[in-house]
Each structure stands twice: as C-alpha cells, then as structure tokens.
A and B are shown apart, each in its own frame.
Chain A
Amino acid sequence: MSIVNYSLIMDKQYITLISYGHFEKDFLATIAECITHEYSYPVSFDESYLDLSKFYDPARHQYDANKLLKEIDSKIEPDAFKTLGLFRVDLFIPILTYIYGQAFLNGRTGIVSLHRLKNELYGLSTDENLLTERFKKIVIHELGHTFGLKHCHTPACVMLSSTYVEDIDQKNVSLCAKCKKEIVS
C-alpha cells in the first residue's frame, strides 16, 4: 500500500500518523487531539504495511529503529510536513537495550512504539488509561525532536529524557514554556 500524504490538502500543513499495526480509532483520535492541542497543527491518519521481518534482529529479538525510520522517511512525499510511524513492536538502536521512539532532529519523520509502555511487560496489571497517557507523551516528545527540540532539563516538561516508564509517568504531556518558545522562534 502506498503512503498517502495529506499534508498539502487545502494548503494546510498536517502532522500525519501512520499506523503500522492495529490501533483503535478512538485511541488514535485521543492521540491526535493531544497533538493538535500541543502543536496547533491538524492531524491526518493513514495505515500502512511494512514487512517487518526485514528489520528484525534475531539475536536481540527486536526491531531496528534506525532502519525503520530511514525506510519511512524514504517513502513519504518530499514536501511532507511531519510524519510519525506508530508501531507495536519492541524497538532498538545498536547501542541501547531498547528505545520508546526515535526521530530525526529538526527533520520530518519519527517513529514510536507501544511495546515497552505496557504495564504487563513489568509484571503489573493492564492499565489502558496509563498506556494511553504514556503513548501521548512519547508521541509529543518525538514530534518535539522533529521540531528541533532537544532534551529539556525542566522536570515536568515532556521533552525531559526518560529512560524508564516511571520517568515517563512523572512528566507532563505538554511542553514547558521555554520549549514552546523555542518552537515558535
């Protein structure tokens, strides 16, 4: 399936979410609402398919995020605004044991995954609301990188670097004033 880019519909810039795997419509709508609230851009949706086996590392039982990111970036329209690939699989980069997401700094593409955000992975009971909150934060964070934002040291800012899910839970879903100002400028 080719990737349809709605970015230039009606001369508006859109942030596009492309699902690679099944995501509920309501879930996506919640994420989109959060994105628009934070970045003031409308969101468009798409679904796509990738043969993920090409990105799988059998030694690590994980999927190469660098390669996935480059793949998605190569397939979107040249004048696409911002695109975020949504995954459910466990992502890695060579030097780290896992990542939640990855994006090109000041670029137009990013990817995020639900996998490491699930409570069940840590031996805890399922919590869909918490999962949604965590996913929102990862999405806003990676999109922040595409807007040129680096990691922030303000404790509650969504751009604070988070290595554990508990760190993600501590921060807000929104940008701090300094980061907001940086995007505007």
Chain B
Amino acid sequence: MSQNISILIVDDEASVRDSLYNWFIEDDYQVEVAEDAKKALSLLENRKFDIVLADIKMPGMDGLEMHRRIKSLNKDCIVIIMTAFASVDTAVQALKDGAYDYVTKPFDPDDLSHLIRNATKQISLVSENETLKENVIQLVNIEDIIGTSDPMRKVLQDVASVAQSSSSVIITGESGTGKELIARAIHANSSRKYFPLVSVHCGALTESLLESELFGHEKGAFTGAMFNRKGRFEMADGGTIFLDEIATISTKMQIELLRVLESKKFMRVGGNKEISSDFRVICATNRDLKKMVNDGTFREDLFYRLNVVNIVVPPLRDRIEDIPLLVNHFIKKYCTSMSRDLVTIEPSAIKRLEEFEFPGNVRELENMIERAIVVGNGKEIRLKDLPVTKEIVQNNIESLDDLEKKHIAQILIKYDWNISRTAKALQVDRVTLYNKIKKHELKK
C-alpha cells in the first residue's frame, strides 16, 4: 500500500525536510520536498500528491494560506498542518479549512505512524468508494440494455433526457420488453443513484397487502402484524420507487397513491404519525392507460400525475436488427454462468429467430438461448435446439427480392460488412455479392 502513496513535505527547515524524507522513504512512500509554499504549489500543479505535510510558519505564504490553495487544486488531497508553536486559533482555523489534522513538532514516532496510517486508510476508502460508484453507474447503463436499432436508440435518448430530472415516468411496453431494466437505467443515471431503487410488483399483491407493502404498518395493525414494518415509500426516501403493473391497482389504491404523490406524506397502516418521504416515481404497464382512463377504470388525475414522461419500449419484433446482439449477449451471459466455453450460433438459427413473432419478447428470447445452451451440443446453437416451428413464423408475405435483400443485409451486418466473410456465409462469390449489394442499394 505504501508504494502507492505520495507525500509532499513542505517546510523551510532543511533538517525537518530531510528527517521526514528519510522517515517516509524507509516506509516505501513516494516522497518529495519543497522549501516553501511557492515551490510546493508549483509541484502540485504538475502532479498529484495524496498527502501534504506542511509547516505553518514559512517565509512568504504561510501554511494555512497554502492549504486553502491546495484544496482548490485538489479537494481530495489530505493536508496535515505541522507547527512547533501550537495555538488554538490556528488549529481551529486549519481544521475549519479542511485540514486532516494539526500536529505539533516534534512528533512521537508512534503518533506520526498512526497519523499517516489513518490518512492512508482514508485515501484507500475514498478510492474504493469512487470505484464502487462507477460500478453502480456501469451496472445498468451499458451492459444490460442491448440495442443499436433506431427504436432502442430513441428509448436510450429518452432515458438520458428524463434521468436528470425527478419527473414521474410511465414506461409502457409488452411483457418481456425490459421495462424494469429501463427503470433501473433511469435511476442509475439520475442524481438519486446513490439512494435506493425500490420495486413493487403491484400485480402480484392483493389490495390489502399492497397497501401494507407501500405504506408499511404498525404492530397489531392487522392479524399477523407482530412488528412495525417500514413501507416501500419510506424505504425509497431520497431514491426512486418503481411501481410495476400499475394498471392492476384498485380504485381505492389509486386514490391513496394520488394523495401520497401530491403531498409526499403518508401514514403507516394502523399508525397515526405522519411520515414524509422524498421519492421519484417510475411506473410500468403493458396496458393502454389512456384507454383505461376513457373506460373509467383508471383515474384521470392519477394518470396525468404519473404520465409526465412516457417512454415506450418497442416489442422485439419491431427491432429485429437487435436480435443478433441480444443473442450474443445471452450466449456470453449463460456460458459464463455455466462455466462453459462460448458457443456460436448457426446462421439459419439466427434467421429463424429474426422471423419469429416473440410474443414474450426479450424474455422469451433469453429463455430460448439459455435452453439451447443447456440442451445443445456445447459448440454451436443449431436451429433444432430452438423451440421455433415453421407455423409460428411470421405470416407476412414478402417477395423473393425482399427476402433476398433482407437476408443479405442481415449477413452483412453480422460480419460488419466484411465482403469476404459475408460472401462465404452466403456461399456466393465476391463479385456476385457486390452485384447484389448494388442491386438492392444496400449501404453500410
């Protein structure tokens, strides 16, 4: 650990600089010295130091002023103020300005060791925290939302736009299209990302259970309520609450939900103490809520309260160009989790998947790939490994020309417009392929 920590010693006394230098070098720290604040600041402009040990009394700029300037260059730098003449005023001022510690010379060797060890621990914790934060951001943004098709690009643009605000969002889309994933992406890109994302599957709970789940309950509120319980609204304080299958909630729950959304205050079931919670709401549904409003089965005021932004996630059949990417992603996911070598997929299997209706959307595709890896030969996913039959294939009648164009385009995309590999896959020569590309006006 010491090898990664850099220390700058700033003191006008050469004997102090030399002593500290030797002391820290013996502990394998990277050490540099400066005889005054000017030299120190000049060094700090060109490189980062983890710890600065600075004397207060120096000719020119004193240690306290230098400390303030260091903080403006690098707020994470740990600055320890040293002095031979301790005073309460300077100590208080130094600590108020953000100094890590204020120590008097000479130090007890044990105290100096502890001081530097604790400072090193803090540096390590800050660094670990930054890494964890980056992991949180990475978690949903990039790896799990797969798609380069135009409809998916629009969804991701909408996510980026809406994430920065705290506006309520309704995500609509068929079952299995990844609505929860989109909700997680919105949360992960928002300023609330370091607070919880709390999910509630409204469709899985009865009205009374949903009420208890959302608002919490007090001990004895109903039979079986042996302890106080926090509700999801409370747990989402500072963060986001994701209400999946919002269209399934009863009229009574709609009224209660509207009240909470407007006031951000509520009481636990069986309780009498008002609780406040600051949360952002994201809802998801596969129903047409506007139609339900018109039918009178969903409250109009609640609809408009929730539907500040609407993101529509396309069904898989509207983004077939994403299928090869999704297939590769799931192959990697399941082969890794099963500790197997990565398998390939034969072109005819990909082609059949692109023709398939996928009523279950991405979830259904994922299940197919997982199954194919389990039952397959361990090297390649073949058409026979997939539970797709000719009868389920799309019924759209297309001309041979259209089919040819579509097929050639897919194979070109698959091989990233590598003409040689595409021609080989299609079992034609390069000249024929070039002619076909020209005929169908295909462009990269």
Which A residues have a C-beta under 8 Å from some C-beta of B?
Answer: 60, 66, 92-99, 102, 105, 145, 150-151, 161, 163-164
Contact = CB atoms under 8 A, between A and B. Distances in A.
B109 interface: yes
B109 A150 contact: no
B106 A92 contact: yes
Contacts of A151: 26-28
Contacts of A105: 22, 25-26
Contacts of B105: 94-95
A164 B19 contact: no
A164 B20 contact: no
B26 A96 contact: no
Contacts of B113: 161, 163
A103 B275 CA distance: 66
Closest 8 A/B residue pairs (Cβ): A163-B110, A163-B109, A93-B19, A94-B15, A95-B19, A150-B28, A151-B27, A97-B106
B117 to A, nearest CB: 10
A151 B113 CA distance: 12
Contacts of A150: 25-28
A96 B15 contact: no
Interface of B: 13, 15-16, 18-20, 22-23, 25-28, 82, 105-110, 112-113
Given A66-B19, A94-B16, A145 B109 contact: no
A150 B22 CA distance: 10
A96 B27 contact: no
A158 B41 CA distance: 38
B109 A94 contact: no
B155 to A, nearest CB: 51
Contacts of A161: 26-27, 113
A95 B20 contact: yes
Contacts of B19: 66, 93-96
15 contacts: A66-B19, A93-B22, A93-B23, A94-B13, A94-B15, A95-B106, A95-B107, A95-B112, A96-B112, A97-B109, A98-B109, A105-B25, A150-B25, A151-B26, A161-B113
A163 B117 CA distance: 13
Contacts of B106: 60, 92, 94-97
Nearest to B9: A95
B32 to A, nearest CB: 16
A96 B18 contact: no
Nearest to A67: B15
B23 A96 contact: yes
Please indicate which of the listed interface residues A60, A96, A97, A99 has the most CB atoms of chain B within 10 Å of its own CB: A96
A37 B312 CA distance: 79
A177 to B, nearest CB: 18
Contacts of A66: 15, 18-19
A86 B25 CA distance: 23
Nearest to B18: A66
B103 to A, nearest CB: 10
Given A66-B19, A95-B19, A164 B28 contact: no
Nearest to B82: A95
A145 B109 CA distance: 18
A93 B13 CA distance: 12
